[in-house]
Structure 1
């Protein structure tokens, strides 16, 4: 039976105006509208303001070390393929501390939804540049401005043949909901990179900035065209929003390699646990 994902009477620890509030609302509404059962849903997160999101959603959650949400989410899905598994965190958590796990999760293709709150700054630790900060961005740490080009998660995901690669702006709420629903319905790894402002520590990349520097892909855009997706991922100022690429003939998922078609929780399975451990170590 479908049940509400709302968690009442919880003191939310985000600043007024933070884009995380919109993402929290978005995730709750998508889970409910897709009628996913909360007892069969797990959200895994690391450290950071974005990583607090599952604390405010009434479902299973698993909090891990900074940058470690993806391997934990991959293991949870392999241990119980019947679960809906979400890995959620910020751009620093997922692309910085968790950058190595991001690369290998793309290679493994677990059937999970990967939601990244991308505000181009570290919010929890008071405003230093993150991997996605724009070149020239000035902080109390990068006093002369960021020197490096920003990390491009969409290009990296495509280069490693991810089956679902998307970007949305929480300021375009209805469009973001459409894309996130498609990510949940996709079989295999699905990246949803969400632009959202940090109203305290990033005075540059605001709601208005994201509105002016992005555009929604045309309805005629064909998301199955891999070469075109690579070109779109490289575009900047403005940056495209939507499903850049979706492989509807996605290769076998990580948990299928581990378990075949066995969808039972591991403790109910007849699989040789030692064999499964050996398979984990090879990936």
Structure 2
């Protein structure tokens, strides 16, 4: 994407005249506000910004952002995003999807968007349930989730969106949650990344999966259950006296795995706590695969290591083709179509066939 000219806007400039219609208390409200606050911060231009969604509660998003937008079909938002970006590389594209839309029917489309590394921001709202279609269990639902389609409890092993993204070749992977004060920072970092930036956002479905993330999002437990990955900073958590971290993540060399270690008097280095390196792909895999419960939930920018984008490569290829065609005087489409084996059908409508 060419560098966009920053313009001055306010939150009000990004609010539409449409009534925001989600269930009262839905986490989508908080995510919408976080995005609308972020857009002025990054100097986004409504005339060059596009929000694209598939189908689901999250996919109502384009109606509520004062910019261009497409509410597309189930699971196919990545295909629309790709077409839009290739047609106009100067547009700033945000894709909004859910755990059902993006990880089930649209899983293959999401995979190809990531592996191609198209320059866009991908917001995957994960509420671990199908909300719009009345509470069936989704690809990310936990084992034992009871729903209309799993009355005896789901026996599926849930998909891990961030692990999926890394496995698909994503070069930017992050996590946040709906009411987090730090979600905006994650969105800013995603926008600064050139390429496909994947952000999993835990979102509370107030009706069908209420408070499922309370075990790490509630303020009273957050310090003990969250690790915020910040490049160059130790992976620490826990709140001791004066909020000094009491635990951290270290490498168990024998097991080639991460482990939780205790920190004495704030000396995380003596405890062997790892410093986060957002360009370390192996570390990113280890962090997103940690099982919550024995381990804290890892949030923030987990991986950020840019590489050339698909849209830039296509643009270069097209430019080279045009230059080659111009040099050989082959800009005539009719002449190109007529080249090679051609024939003319003669006769009239009365002639036998």
Smaller-chain TM-score bracket: 0.7 to 0.9
- Is 1:217 matched up with 2:217? no
Is the 8 Å Cα contact of residues 171 and 207 (structure 1) preserved in structure 2?
no
Give the drift of 1:100. Answer: 0.7
Partners of 1:120 and 1:260 in 2: CA distance: 40
Partners of 1:186 and 1:140 in 2: CA distance: 40
Corresponding residue for residue 266 of structure 1: none
Corresponding residue for residue 253 of structure 1: 309
Partners of 2:51 and 2:284 in 1: CA distance: 28
- Using the size of structure 2 for normalisation, the TM-score is 0.70
Residues 1:89 and 1:160: Cα distance change in structure 2 (over 3 Å): closer
Give the drift of 1:7. Answer: 2.8
Is the 8 Å Cα contact of residues 164 and 190 (structure 1) preserved in structure 2?
yes
What secondary structure, in the 3-state scheme, does the structure 2 residue paired with 1:25 have? helix
Is the 8 Å Cα contact of residues 85 and 113 (structure 1) preserved in structure 2?
yes
Structure 2: give runs of 5+ residues left out of the alignment: 1-6, 235-275, 320-325, 334-353
Corresponding residue for residue 281 of structure 1: none
Give the drift of 1:207. Answer: 4.3
Partners of 2:125 and 2:301 in 1: CA distance: 16
Q: Which has the larger radius of gyration?
A: 2
Deviations 1:208-260 (A, max 9, x none): 5544564323633211111111100101213211111110xx22211112112
What secondary structure, in the 3-state scheme, does the structure 1 residue paired with 2:205 have? coil
What secondary structure, in the 3-state scheme, does the structure 2 residue paired with 1:89 have? strand
What secondary structure, in the 3-state scheme, does the structure 2 residue paired with 1:230 have? helix
- Using the size of structure 1 for normalisation, the TM-score is 0.87
Instruction: Indicate which of 187, 190, 201 corresponds to 2:194.
Output: 187
What secondary structure, in the 3-state scheme, does the structure 2 residue paired with 1:144 have? coil
What secondary structure, in the 3-state scheme, does the structure 2 residue paired with 1:260 have? helix
Partners of 1:255 and 1:210 in 2: CA distance: 37
What secondary structure, in the 3-state scheme, does the structure 1 residue paired with 2:227 have? strand
Structural RMSD (CA): 2.2
Give the drift of 1:81. Answer: 0.9
Q: Larger deviation: 222-231 or 211-220?
A: 211-220
Instruction: Indicate which of 144, 148, 156 corresponds to 2:152.
Output: 144
Is the 8 Å Cα contact of residues 14 and 46 (structure 2) preserved in structure 1?
no
What secondary structure, in the 3-state scheme, does the structure 1 residue paired with 2:14 have? coil
Corresponding residue for residue 236 of structure 1: 291
Greater RCO (CA < 8 Å, at least 6 residues apart): 1
- Aligned pairs for 1:97-112 within 5 A: 97-112=105-120
Q: Larger deviation: 147-156 or 199-208?
A: 199-208
Instruction: Indicate which of 32, 51, 54 corresponds to 1:46.
Output: 54
Corresponding residue for residue 177 of structure 1: 184
Is the 8 Å Cα contact of residues 216 and 297 (structure 2) preserved in structure 1?
no
